A = this chain, B = another copy of it.
Amino acid sequence: MTKLPDDVPDCMVFLLAKAYQKAHADFKKQLIPYGLTNLQHLVLEGLWYKQGMTAAQLGKFLILDKATLSGVLERMVKGGWIKKQINKKDKRLLSIYTSPKADNLKNDLTKERQKANQEILQGFSIEEKILFKRFLTDVINGG
């Protein structure tokens, strides 16, 4: 990731993309020792937040397309991170649970996430951090 030129045409999508990619790339490196990708980590966070969510609920929680989630969940089952369980009352529904292997990493992953937050917001004052998060949520919710 190189220095951003000063005089690019003004484009918010570009700025958001590159800020995201920078943060993503750094956190990705932090997660390599755990054998987890960024998104897979988010799936675990989602399930720890509310265990047994269906794929649809998880997708809503993570603001993620069901098509994307489908593949991620498949790889996470294969990796032993989660279990899928078909709902007996409604056979369309998949309830998803974290595995013990995942749960054992919960504290470590929380620390990694906090470390990532710190590095991303390094140099930001407390007020700026709050403001920045408000701006981002405004972009997400606004429209």
Residues of A within 8 A of B (CB): 1-5, 8-24, 26-27, 38, 42, 45, 49, 60-63, 110, 113-114, 116-117, 119-124, 128, 131-133, 135-143
Contacts and interface: CB of A to CB of B under 8 A. Distances in A.
A13 B9 contact: no
Residue of A20, A110, A142 with most chain B CB atoms under a 10 A cut-off:
A20
7 contacts: A8-B45, A11-B113, A12-B120, A16-B23, A17-B20, A124-B135, A135-B135
By secondary structure, the A interface counts as: helix
The oligomer's copy count stands at: 2
A140 B24 contact: no
B131 A18 contact: no
Contacts of A20: 13, 16-17, 19-20
A13 B113 CA distance: 9
B121 A12 contact: yes
